[in-house]
Amino acid sequence: MSAPIPIDDPADPRLAPYTAMRERDLIGRQGRFIVEGAVTLRLLLSRAARFRAESILVAPERWPGLADAFADLPEPPPVYAAAKAVMSAVAGFPIHRGVLAVGIRGAEPEAAALVPPGPAPALVLGLAGLTNHDNVGGLFRNAAAFGADAVLLDAETCDPLYRKAIRVSAGAALITPFARLPRGADWLALAEHLGLVPLALSPGGGETLADLPPLPRALLLVGTEGPGLPGGLMARARTLRIPMAAGFDSLNVATAGAIALHHLARLPRRG
């Protein structure tokens, strides 16, 4: 790939998608999202990515370390080079790492399209009412680490393509398939429709995780750290708990999810 296109003027219209970044984190970007940092940029450009990069914006000194990521792309996106001071002026806050990209969301898939049909094994993570971007990002990272087939989000759960969620996910939000359920969707009816055993992870769960037998097709449901999963759901699902020491606050929800995903994953063991 040839050298990046230099831009000196923060008002250059090609940089418009990068302007007022924090304000637009809140109001949305009309089908676009922002990626920060080299690790996540490489995932956005990789074959594993589910999204197309619209453009890249890098500080000139970062380009030599990134050029190889563009080498095999049949239709590379435009790469703009601007000094960090210009990047910061456009974004509205200091851009220390000097690596940004704009991705295109595209059409959102249906949940059913992401889950391998039975009797093939399937491991799906369901996020119920998770409004913290750190937790959602962490859960995507853990879902990717344990090879989950998909992540399903209820209407209340926050956006995995929010800038900070992508960063905390170490880019997993760009490669792990996810779908948003309609408001008021019934997790248990969905699990039945998809042929998945619904498992509700909660400090008040009935079965101990370590005693759970192998399940070839599972939907692991996690909720917010405070209220947890809704009572109606807990009453109808198979509920799981992770034994913890008495007298201490429970685990972070992303950590609890990782422990359960590790138990449920069917990953090859070496040796």
Asked if residues 138 and 256 have their Cβ atoms less than 8 Å apart, the reply is: no
Which of 131/208 has CB closer to its own copies?
208
Interface with its own copies includes 121 (CB under 8 A)? no
We find the least distance from the C-beta atom of residue 243 to its own copies, in angstroms, to be 4
Stretch that binds its own copies, among 29-37, 71-79, 154-162, 169-177 (CB under 8 A): 169-177
Residue from 115, 242, 253, 264 in contact with its own copies (CB under 8 A): 242
Interface with its own copies includes 67 (CB under 8 A)? no
Asked if residues 34 and 167 have their Cβ atoms less than 8 Å apart, the reply is: no
Interface with its own copies includes 244 (CB under 8 A)? yes
Which of 78/147 has CB closer to its own copies?
147
Burial of 76 (0-12, 13-18, 19+ CB in 10 A): middle
Residue from 206, 230, 231, 232 in contact with its own copies (CB under 8 A): 206
For the beta carbon of residue 197, count every other beta carbon within 10 angstroms.
17
Tokens read off for 129: 């009412």
Helical spans, DSSP H, in the chain:
21-27, 38-45, 84-91, 111-114, 133-145, 163-168, 172-175, 187-194, 231-236, 253-264
Interface with its own copies includes 178 (CB under 8 A)? no
**CA angle at 124 for the pair 35 and 270, rounded to the nearest 5°:** 90
Stretch that binds its own copies, among 21-29, 65-73, 179-187, 254-262 (CB under 8 A): 254-262
Tokens read off for 36: 């920060």
Q: Which residues bind to its own copies, rule: CB under 8 A?
A: 39, 48, 138, 141-142, 144-147, 170-172, 175, 206-211, 241-245, 247-252, 254-255, 258-259, 262, 265, 267-271
